[in-house]
Amino acid sequence: MAKKGILLVNLGSPKSTDVKDVKEYLDEFLMDEKVIDYRWIFRALLVRGIILNTRPAKSAEAYKTVWTDEGSPLVVITEKIQKKLQKLVDVPVEIGMRYAQPSIEAGIQKLVDQGVSDIVLFPLYPQYAMSTTETVIEKAEEVRKKKFPTVKINYIQPFYDREIYINCLADSIREKLPENFDALQFSYHGVPERHIYKTDPSNTCKIDDANCINSKIEAHNARCYRHQCYKTTESVIAKMGLPKEKTIVSFQSRLGKDKWIEPYTDETLETIPKKGIKNLAVVCPAFVSDCLETLEEISVEGKEQFMHGGGENFHYIPCLNDEDRWIDVVKTLCEEKLNEFYFV
Ligand SMILES: C=CC1=C(C)c2cc3[nH]c(cc4nc(cc5[nH]c(cc1n2)c(C)c5CCC(=O)O)C(CCC(=O)O)=C4C)c(C)c3C=C
Ligand SMILES: [Fe+2]
Ligand SMILES: [Fe+2]
């Protein structure tokens, strides 16, 4: 019988905080047409002609503030998830990063070297986006066809609507919430608005925000990042018994001059203290592991923005990282897909 294995895939980080390594990483990341979706020539002009002149030095400084002795938090935490999962399942578990190292190809190779031919690949993103789930699957298929044509890969789909995940996230947030808070802000990574229009066959996103958020159209919901972020929040607060009025949804980390999905996290943080929100808790459920975008952009910069706007207490709620209850969810989702191999 074919041997099975699991590949956990996360976004990836630069090799080090050296400007040249950050530049190499940003080049691979931003030249991905699923991330900056312009024609190659315009993408190259923007990325190589403009962004890579200044951003690597700035990002390298930011990475230095979160880097640990073991390396980038995102990679280190993904390795911890791998090790914990490996103790719970009897098939090999490896990791791969969409950008930089260890690559998806290296991860598949490690599994193949252990005799694996049926792989469950888990993109570690709760919500679907062109720049996350879609690019991971496309890359893995490209590598499989070119290098491992006899290997089968079964992909785990976005899990923002799975009860086991929502229960896990709600329990994790509840445990970390401070006793007194005026609001809980859900800050998701943003995407250009154009990206959500591109992946929406039903055109629901375009009509207006409310339509997109409340849509019951399956074809729209399956691929709409904005819809899936709002639904994640709705499900988590329902589970926590938290009133909607005590919550905020916003989108962080925008890049460039395009219009990204709103409201923007930085603007929200600056303005909410004037509306009476002085004690704030923030959680970032687009990320399963803490990374530059949570540890620096939210915990440090975000806190400064909130305090500058007149806030008093800012409490960052860490991601699920390698919490045991989250590892149990990862195990369940992987096992479901491993079992499907009997039927494909
Ligand atoms: C969680 C989902 C993510 C989406 C959606 C996403 C879209 C997206 N990102 C950029 C540009 C950058 N993102 C950067 C870092 C970064 N992004 C995510 C996740 C998503 N990105 C993570 C987990 C990280 C952290 C990586 C780490 O090493 O810790 C960066 C690099 C840092 C910087 O220079 O700011 C860029 C650039 C775009 C353009 C985009 C959608 C089109
Ligand atoms: Fe990003
Ligand atoms: Fe939508």
Q: Which amino acid, residue 98? A: R
Q: Is 220 assigned a ligand-binding role in the annotation?
A: no
Q: Are 255 and 46 in contact (CB under 8 A)?
A: no
Confidence of residue 253 (pLDDT cuts 50, 70, 90): very high
The CA 189 to ligand 2 mean position distance, Å, reads 7
Which domain covers residue 172, as residue numbers?
163-316
Same domain, 119 and 219: no
**Residue 136's pLDDT is what?**
98
φ, ψ at 44 (rounded to 5°) = -65, -40
Residues 6+ apart with CB under 8 A from 292: 13, 59, 62, 63, 66, 72, 73, 74
Cα–Cα distance list, 48 to 43, 54, 116 (Å):
8, 10, 39
Which atom of ligand 1 has the smallest separation from the CA of 56? 34
Mutate to test the pocket of ligand 1, among 8, 77, 253 (most ligand atoms within 8 A of CB): 253
Structure tokens at 141: 């298929």
- DSSP letter (8 states) at residue 121: E
Within 10 angstroms of residue 202's Cβ, the number of other Cβ atoms is 18
The mean pLDDT of the chain is 96
Same domain, 153 and 176: no
Spatial separation of the C-alpha atoms in residues 263 and 257, rounded to whole Å = 15
Alpha carbon 69 to its chain centroid, in Å, reads: 23
Ligand 1 contact via 293 beta carbon (within 6 Å): yes
Which atom of ligand 1 has the smallest separation from the CA of 192? 42
**Residue 24's pLDDT is what?**
98
What are the strands of the beta sheet with 279-283, ordered from one edge?
Answer: 247-252, 183-189, 279-283, 313-317
pLDDT, tens only, 176-228 = 999 999 999 999 999 999 999 999 988 899 878 888 999 999 999 999 999 99
Domain count along the chain: 2
Q: For the chain, how big is the Rg over CA atoms in Å? A: 20
Name the packing angle between helices 135-147 and 104-113 (round to 10°): 50
The CA 253 to ligand 2 mean position distance, Å, reads 7
For range 280-305, the mean pLDDT:
98
Same domain, 181 and 196: yes
The CA 193 to ligand 3 mean position distance, Å, reads 9
Q: Is 293 assigned a ligand-binding role in the annotation?
A: yes
Q: Which amino acid, residue 299? A: S
Cα–Cα distance list, 45 to 21, 254, 282 (Å):
20, 19, 36
Hey, whose CA ends up nearest to atom 21 of ligand 1? 189
For range 22-40, the mean pLDDT:
98
Hey, whose CA ends up nearest to atom 30 of ligand 1? 26
The closest alpha carbon to 191, from 212, 177, 176, 216, belongs to: 212
Alpha carbon 239 to its chain centroid, in Å, reads: 22
Spatial separation of the C-alpha atoms in residues 267 and 251, rounded to whole Å = 10
For range 143-156, the mean pLDDT:
97
Q: What is the CATH number of the domain that holds 236?
A: 3.40.50.1400
Q: Are 84 and 322 in contact (CB under 8 A)?
A: yes
Ligand nearest to the CA of 222: 3
From 7-21, 97-111, 210-224, 313-327, the region with the lowest mean pLDDT: 210-224
Spatial separation of the C-alpha atoms in residues 207 and 121, rounded to whole Å = 34
Ligand 1 contact via 232 beta carbon (within 6 Å): no
Q: Which residue has the higher pLDDT, 202 or 62?
A: 62
Same domain, 116 and 258: no
Spatial separation of the C-alpha atoms in residues 241 and 221, rounded to whole Å = 24
Q: Where are the beta strands (DSSP E) in 17-162?
A: 93-97, 116-123, 152-155
Same domain, 283 and 203: yes
**Residue 189's pLDDT is what?**
98
Same domain, 268 and 234: yes
Spatial separation of the C-alpha atoms in residues 69 and 60, rounded to whole Å = 16
**Residue 208's pLDDT is what?**
80
Q: Which amino acid, residue 317? A: I
Same domain, 35 and 150: yes
**Residue 153's pLDDT is what?**
97
The CA 174 to ligand 1 mean position distance, Å, reads 27
Same domain, 102 and 214: no
With a cut of 90, say whether residue 321 has pLDDT above it: yes
3-class DSSP assignment, residue 79: helix
Ligand nearest to the CA of 227: 3
Ligand 1 contact via 122 beta carbon (within 6 Å): no
With a cut of 60, say whether residue 144 has pLDDT above it: yes
Same domain, 259 and 304: yes
Mutate to test the pocket of ligand 1, among 76, 293, 297, 299 (most ligand atoms within 8 A of CB): 293
3-class DSSP assignment, residue 57: helix
pLDDT, tens only, 105-130 = 999 999 999 999 999 999 999 999 99
φ, ψ at 256 (rounded to 5°) = 85, -170
Same domain, 27 and 89: yes
Which atom of ligand 1 has the smallest separation from the CA of 190? 5
Which atom of ligand 1 has the smallest separation from the CA of 10? 23
**Residue 343's pLDDT is what?**
58
Q: Are 32 and 135 in contact (CB under 8 A)?
A: yes
Same domain, 24 and 141: yes
Ligand 3 (ion): which residues have CB within 5 A?
205, 212, 224, 226-227
Structure tokens at 242: 């938290």
Give the helix, strand, coil percentages of the chain, each rounded to 5. Answer: 50, 15, 30
With a cut of 60, say whether residue 134 has pLDDT above it: yes
Same domain, 172 and 116: no
